[in-house]
Chain A
Amino acid sequence: MKKIADTGNEQNSFTFCVGPVHPALKEPLQFTFKIEGERVKKVDFMLSHVHRGIEWMGTRRNPIQIIYLAERICGICNISHPFAFCRAVESVAGIEVPPRAEYIRTINAELERIHSHLLWAGIAAHELGFDSVLHYILKARERVLDIIEYITGNRITKGIMMIGGVRRDISKKQYRKIIEAMEYYKKQVKKISDILLKDHVVKARTINTGILSKADAIKLCAVGPTARASGVKRDVRQDEPYAAYKYLDVEAITPATIGKETRGDVYDRTLVRLAEIRQSVNIIVECLKSMPEGKIAYEDKIPKLLAELKSVEGEGIGRHEAPRGEVLHYIKLIGNETLFSWKVRAPTYANLLSWVPMLLGAQIADIPIIAASTDPCLSCTNRAVITKHGKHVVIDHEALHELSVKKTLALRKVKHD
């Protein structure tokens, strides 16, 4: 366990270690908190417990194979990674994507945002102790997964991206089903907003919890909904429109754009994400309406495409606004069949440092919801160790979760008394 240098007030403070793996996270990460009473006084964390060497694997494969490898960087963002990767390859090779393919890419990316944000809303409810809300939201999420399966061939790994376009078209017959699902989500998101945003217990637990100020968000380079909830109006789709976003008018959503006060707390992050689901629904409907006819790929003959890419030299960058924020892929081709180098910067990496100001001064019971509020894509084992006056007490996932649930129950009582 990492030790934090003690400063004054020794008797009342102790070190509290969460991780290498933590309840709210899906991948190993170690937090070290210095606690005084119930309050967090100092935060430190360490990561890189799960280095999978994906980029190394990539340098042993050709660009077509990497699309599917990139898909597997993240289970949720498996349009975002190939999207950014394909854009990088296209920028190096000077490949132009046909307009219809750009629309199909956009539709798929927005479907991904809907299911990712719904999953997050469910997890957030779970962290607060509302398990019935978790199940309710996950049930609502099934519909978008069905649509994804319907247009791409699988629920999670979509396998629809291709360098220079997409692999599958959306037929006229499929339009209706997608539009119907979007209508369903318009209603459903309203309901979920009512459940999450109007409930007094949720409000009590999330308002003024885990505050990230606008200045901190900018200083720590936060991205995605984490930054936007703090009032930083930044979104790749707005700042540097690509794919079909060029033809649409996408505005970054901050609490201010939906007429709410910006505090940068967990509540605002919920608010922004729910508003983004609504925005995604509108984008999809808009895309379906204005989608032009035409080719869906720059080159349908894969061997020909591979041969063409073999002679390409140069470096390229691909960006995309993933559900969690901006994802960035860098590649270098040197006229080989395989890549010379590949670098991926996933959005969670940029958001990690924002945890420090968010967690300072928080209560122990609020740690799970604050950590989950940036929608981190890291994994977990289920235990935490507390060292108090040299004695070890093990708190596992359940116990920490219990603390969170207890706080919710206590708040509910306060209101009823």
Chain B
Amino acid sequence: MIVIAKELVKQLLKKPFTNLFPAKYAPKSIKQFLRDAKEGKVKLNPPVVVPPNFRGKIEYDEKKCIRCKLCTRVCPAKALEYVEKENIIKYHLFRCAFCGQCVDVCPTGALKLTKEFLLAGYKKD
């Protein structure tokens, strides 16, 4: 009782521990909000820092890719698909499990991990 009471009182003097979204409340118009942010009218909360080698969204470089299709063979979520017609590897972001296995296997470095993690979508393709 006493221990936790002490901790709770201490907490009153501290800032919230949780990571904050860029804006506290969802703005009515995102475009307007971004414009305001640019002009310095509203203040954005700084982005959450992620450590180096964080596994976020995958970036695909068409020019480096040699179409060996190794990445499609190891991807557990079938998020990488070789499209015959366009002769490229298609990345389905919302199927991706962010394991980074494709990046490990790619012989030419055509796939890269980025730090982007605030992703949301409606469809899986």
- Chain A contacts to B: CB under 8 angstroms: 61-62, 64-69, 71-72, 130, 132-133, 136, 139, 142, 149-150, 153-154, 157, 159, 167-168, 191, 194-195, 199-201, 302-303, 306
Contacts and interface: CB of A to CB of B under 8 A. Distances in A.
B46 to A, nearest CB: 17
Given A68-B97, A302-B104, A153 B4 contact: no
A130 B1 CA distance: 10
Contacts of A66: 76
B110 to A, nearest CB: 15
A67 B100 CA distance: 12
A178 B9 CA distance: 29
A397 to B, nearest CB: 24
Interface string B3-41: 110011001000001000000000000000000000000
A150 B70 contact: no
Given A69-B76, A199-B1, A303-B70, A157 B99 contact: yes
A328 to B, nearest CB: 22
B47 interface: no
23 contacts: A62-B74, A65-B74, A65-B76, A66-B76, A68-B97, A68-B101, A69-B76, A132-B4, A132-B8, A136-B7, A136-B8, A149-B51, A153-B55, A153-B100, A159-B55, A159-B98, A167-B100, A167-B104, A191-B3, A195-B3, A201-B1, A302-B70, A302-B104
A68 B99 CA distance: 7
A191 B74 CA distance: 45
A168 B53 contact: yes
B50 interface: yes
B64 interface: no
B44 interface: no
A331 B22 CA distance: 46
B50 A306 contact: no
Given A132-B8, A159-B100, A195-B3, A302 B74 contact: yes
Nearest to B54: A153
Contacts of B17: 139, 142
Given A64-B74, A68-B76, A154-B54, 13 more contacts: A65-B75, A66-B76, A130-B4, A132-B8, A136-B7, A154-B98, A159-B99, A191-B3, A195-B3, A201-B1, A302-B101, A302-B105, A303-B70
B73 interface: yes
Nearest to B98: A154
